[in-house]
Structure formats: structure tokens, C-alpha cells
Amino acid sequence: MSRVRLGAIGAGWWATSNHFPLFAAHDDVELVGVCSKGPGLEAIRDQFGFTFATEDSDELLAADIDAVVISTPHDLHHPLAAQALERGLHVLCEKPMTLRADEAWDLATRAERAGTVFLVPYGWNYKPFTVAARRMLEAGGVGQIQYAMCHMASPTRGLFGSDPTHMLERWSSEVAPDPTTWSSPARGGGYAHGQVTHSSALLFWLTGLRAASVAGRVSTAGAPVDLFDAGVIRFEGGALGTLSGAATLADGDSYQVDIRLFGTEGVLMLDVERERVTLSRYDGTRQEVEIAPGEGEYECLVPPSRFIDLITGASTENNSDAEVAARSVELIDALLRSSAAGGVDTPVH
């Protein structure tokens, strides 16, 4: 395939500040159509070089395209991605892939059946230092995992509290994040779906673990959606784990993602804030990954390009496929249900 004919559904803050500029710069991508609601769509069409613009997702999906990028509010991901897969399209679907576990696994099944590329753009899954960490684990660095700690914190209190000012400054975007997505319970707003999705997807891609049950609690601290999340996890195979998230880092502080894996042969620590990956084995050997300064900061430049490379055959490495994304969705879904039930241990699947 010389050029990938691409359509896009959703043209808000993240699509216009991250995805569209990247795809427009690709010589092997043709931007065919863009679909969104509201004013300004023609200007977006012209700015990025799409052939046509429409408010009708059916029209976009019926166009002569090879692939589609879905960057709509969270609750619309499943029906749109399902339609795209039924048409045999390659799909890049924003995170969280869906809000419910059954919907997530439905998309994973459809993607496998379609035989097309399905990628959820988790930026940290494509960093050189996380790839190195995964290789250490695949080589048996820690042995069988017995305990996993997964923590994330972000300067996002305004985003989930309906004030996106800091996010606009951080991403140099002219389009504000839509509060109806990020701070609306009905649309899947809140820290778990909005941010813990990143850290949990990284954990599952690194380790291959899958959660079996979780006892969770969340706190809104007066916000319309959860700002703090905590859970105790039992993984398939018997490993224990903890999951935590906090939205209230000060604006300008570096994101925290801290994953620590304790196994039968050693301990691996991955910390994006301090930019370190270390493996300490019980036989006395030590390994440390050399990380370039600033590499731990979040960006999502590689996943959209990798999506195109997977379609054209230039790459075969999908670090955030539908199964990884579904394992994240089902854990968050169960954690939120557990919290609503008073923190009881809740089966994940």
C-alpha cells in the first residue's frame, strides 16, 4: 500500500493538536474525510488538507478509505469502532477504548475477526525505555511476578473540574478540551478513565498480566467526577497488586507513572518522573536502562505513525492493541463498580 487513505471521526482538542498535524505531515497518508459536530469543521478540513467534511459518521465510514481515527467522547468509541471494523477498516481508537468491559472485548473480538490493525494510542507504551523494560521481563528478569504496584498522578485537576486552561497551555492547543467528556460522569469523565487508563495499559503490555478481581475506592473531593482512585487487585495466576491515581499534581509538575514488579527472581522498577528503569535480581546482578533527559515526559508522537507503519507493513510491533486496551478497560470498569458497591471485591470478568 503506497498511501493510506484515512478518515477521522472527532475533530476536537486532541485530534487537532496531536493526530491531524502528524498525519498531515506523512507522505504515505491521504487525508480523505473528517467528521465532527458543530461549527468550524470546514476550517479544520482546509487547515489539514482533508478532501471533504461531514457531520454524518455513516457518510465518513462509507467513503473510500482504508483506515479511520476515532477521537470522539469516550462513550461513542464502541459503536463507531464496531462499525468501522465491520467495514474492514483499520482503526486507531482513542483511549479509553470503551467504558465497559463487554464493549472492550467485543471490539477485541471484532478486530481479530476483521484481521485489520487496531491500535489505541498509549504514548508511554512506545518509549525506548519502556520497550527495554519489557525485554527485560520477557527474558525472565524478575521470574514469575508475585506483586505489582502501579501508580499514576497528573496535573489534571482543572481538566476534570471543568477548567482546561493548563491543558491548553501544555499542549499549545487553540481548541479547549470539552468538559462534557472529561468532567461528565455520564460520558466517562474522571481520572480513572482519563488517566489511569495510561498506567494500567502500560502495566498490562509490560507484563502480560490480567486482573481477576479488584476491591476499589474512588474520591471526587468535591469535583463532578473521580479525582483519586485506589484498588487492590488479584491477578490471574495469583499475583497481588495495587493501583492508585491522583489528579492533583500542581500545574507544571511532571507526570508520575511508577510501576514496580516483584517476582521470584528479582525486582523491576520503572519511574517516568525520575526517568529510570532498574532491574535488581536476587542473584546479585543489576541492570539499568540509560534514558535521555526528558524522555519520560508524556507525548503521543509514535503511536499514530506506528499505526500507519502497521498498515503499510513497515512495522509489525503494536504495543497497544485491542487486547491490551481491553484489559485496562475491564480493570477500571470493575474498580468503579467496586467503589459504587462500597469497596467490595469485584470480579473483573
Maximum Cα interatomic distance, the chain, rounded to a whole number of Å: 63
For residue 152, the model assigns a pLDDT of: 98
> Which residue stretches of 51-164 are H helix?
57-62, 77-86, 101-114, 128-138
Q: What is the DSSP-derived secondary structure letter of residue 155?
A: B
The whole-angstrom separation of Cα 144 and Cα 63 is: 48
The whole-angstrom separation of Cα 298 and Cα 272 is: 9
Whether omega for the bond prior to residue 96 falls within 30 degrees of 0, making it cis, is: yes
Cβ contact 130:202 at 8 Å = yes
The topology (CATH level 3) of 4-121 is Rossmann fold (3.40.50)
DSSP for 207-245? H---EEEEEEEEE-TTSSS-SEEEEEEEETTS-EEEEEE
For residue 317, the model assigns a pLDDT of: 98
For residue 198, the model assigns a pLDDT of: 98
For residue 172, the model assigns a pLDDT of: 65
Please tell me the CATH superfamily of domain 124-298+320-347, with its number.
Answer: Dihydrodipicolinate Reductase; domain 2 (3.30.360.10)
Q: In the chain, where are the structural domains located?
A: 4-121, 124-298+320-347
For residue 158, the model assigns a pLDDT of: 87
Q: Are strands 256-263 and 266-271 parallel, antiparallel or unpaired?
A: antiparallel
For residue 174, the model assigns a pLDDT of: 66
Question: Which cell is 347 given?
Answer: 470480579
Does the model's pTM come out above 0.85?
A: yes
Amino acid letter, 243? L
> Would you report the helix, strand and coil content of the chain in percent, each value rounded to 5?
35, 25, 40
Cβ contact 114:85 at 8 Å = yes
For residue 173, the model assigns a pLDDT of: 66
Amino acid letter, 63? A
State the DSSP H helix or E strand holding residue 266, giving kind and residue range, or none if neither: strand 266-271
User: Which of the residues in the chain have pLDDT under 70?
Assistant: 1, 162, 168, 171-174, 176
